[in-house]
Amino acid sequence: MDAKPPVGPPTPPVLMVAPTQEGPNLLVRFLWFLFVGWWAGELVVLLAWLLNLTIIGLPLGLWLLNRLPQVFTLRPEKKEWRVSEAGEGGTAWVAQAVSIPQRPLLWRALYFVLIGWWFSLLWLEVAWLLGLLIIGLPLSFLMFSKSAAVTTLRRT
């Protein structure tokens, strides 16, 4: 007996992406912030801001500012995923981590020269002071995670 192909459109393939735990758990991150992150983060803020005042130190200063959430709370970097067909006829799918598209470099450089260099210090110091208060911790963490955007309009 011959098997007949099913009638109708083919069923689409199913893509299952299992979430992975990146970075330490919440308890370890909280203990890090409590014993190390709050003072080490302030040192990194001041060092990065001083480096940003010099042309030679600017790349390192911006790199440090982009890593502030990791210094304060060991937060892993976010990744954006793109899913695309890999096989013929949609038989296979591939999920890849891709970098987040950024604004044009000229806009970001102009913003940094006019606003970012001074506003980032004010922003980060307010965030640090809020972090000293238990009630201000959530807002403090949010402000630190947005530090790259405040400094150079970097999308995270």
Q: Is 15 contained in some domain?
A: no
Reported pTM: 0.63
pLDDT attached to residue 114:
92
CA distances for 32 relative to 21, 35, 39, 79, 135, angstroms: 18, 5, 11, 23, 18
- For the chain, how many structural domains are there in total? 1
Q: Is 80 contained in some domain?
A: yes
Print the domain residue range for 108. 26-152
Q: Is 20 contained in some domain?
A: no
Q: Is 10 contained in some domain?
A: no
Q: Is 32 contained in some domain?
A: yes
Q: Is 64 contained in some domain?
A: yes
Question: What residues form DSSP beta bridges with 93?
Answer: 85
**How would you write the pLDDT of the chain (156 residues) with one tens digit per residue?**
566 656 655 555 555 555 555 778 888 888 888 899 889 988 998 998 899 888 899 889 888 888 888 888 888 776 666 777 766 666 666 767 667 777 888 888 899 889 988 898 899 899 889 988 888 888 988 888 888 888 888 877
Q: Is 77 contained in some domain?
A: yes
**What secondary structure does DSSP assign to 7-32, as a single string?**
SSSPPPPP--------S--HHHHHHH
Backbone angles phi, psi at 93, to 5 degrees: -130, 150
Q: Is 17 contained in some domain?
A: no
Query: From CA 73, how far away is CA 60, in angstroms rounded?
Result: 20
For 97-111, give one letter per residue: b (16+ CB within 10 A) or e. Answer: eeeeeeeeeeebeeb
Q: Which residues contact 36 (CB under 8 A, 6 or more apart)?
A: none
